[in-house]
Amino acid sequence: MTETAFRIGGDLEVQRLGFGAMRLPTEPGTARENGLSVARRAVELGITLIDTAHMYGGGANEELLAEALHPYPENLLITTKVGITRPDPSADWQLDGRPASLREQVEQGLRRLRVERIELLQLHRIDPETPLADQLGALRDLRDAGKIGRIGLSEVTVDELAQARDIVEIASVQNRYNLLDREHEPVLTACEAAGIAFLPWRPVVWGDSGANAEVLAVAAELEATPTQVALAWLLAHSPVVLPIPGTARTDHLEENAAAGGVRPTPAHLEILDRLAAPE
């Protein structure tokens, strides 16, 4: 039976099917009101893991979530990411893992999310211009100071994960991964062996799974949508996988959340497993 919950870092329990907030509109007006409604509906549906980042609107996404959900329910985890910045609104985003910059981004995240501690803080990308020990050392210092609870990584290789774990405890990894794109299967395998949460981004292939005949056939047998099949496969594929599908529409959110109740049979999983052989 597929477990519905997971303890990140061994102690922080969340429901495995989360929500990615990246697509929520933050500009003033009707679109923003819709974004607030979608975030609130996610919590109403029992979602306890919401993913955001400093990069999403330069902090505007964090502010939107705080406006929608603060004071937060006791069981809600909002995880954010740092390590990508831009000097000013007209500049391009760039990797920035300098310790001083990471510390400032964390402080901004604390203010925007209206919390004293970020329970899971992920390094959005490793900055090749800054020694990894300096990047993770800065986050470790912030953890030791009580500003963050646990440290995660995003878009890393197996070797980078191993190097990081030699420096500090790693609680999560957020890599691109889905039913039809399993490039990072070795990273998932490493996470499973170590009990590290694996948060796949782009988990539903942005509709591509709906064009696949095998997925359509499985969906029909399960009386589910192709998107729900893609999410149900992720939940069944590994106990450390915590999908974070994102949307700005309430109907899509509700469709995604209902995937937790879809139960592919072993025969269905065998069909789906064959769709994309690991790289």
CB count in 10 Å sphere of residue 58: 17
Cβ-based neighbours of 264, under 8 Å, separated by 6 or more: 218, 222, 229, 232, 233, 236, 272
With b for 16 or more beta-carbon neighbours within 10 A and e for fewer, the 220-258 pattern comes to eebebbbbbbbbbbbbbbbebbbbbbbbeeeebbebbbb
d(CA 229, CA 121): 29
Q: Which residues are known catalytic residues?
A: 56
d(CA 12, CA 15): 10
Tokens of 202: 């782009």
Residue pair 60/32 in contact (Cβ under 8 Å)? The answer is no
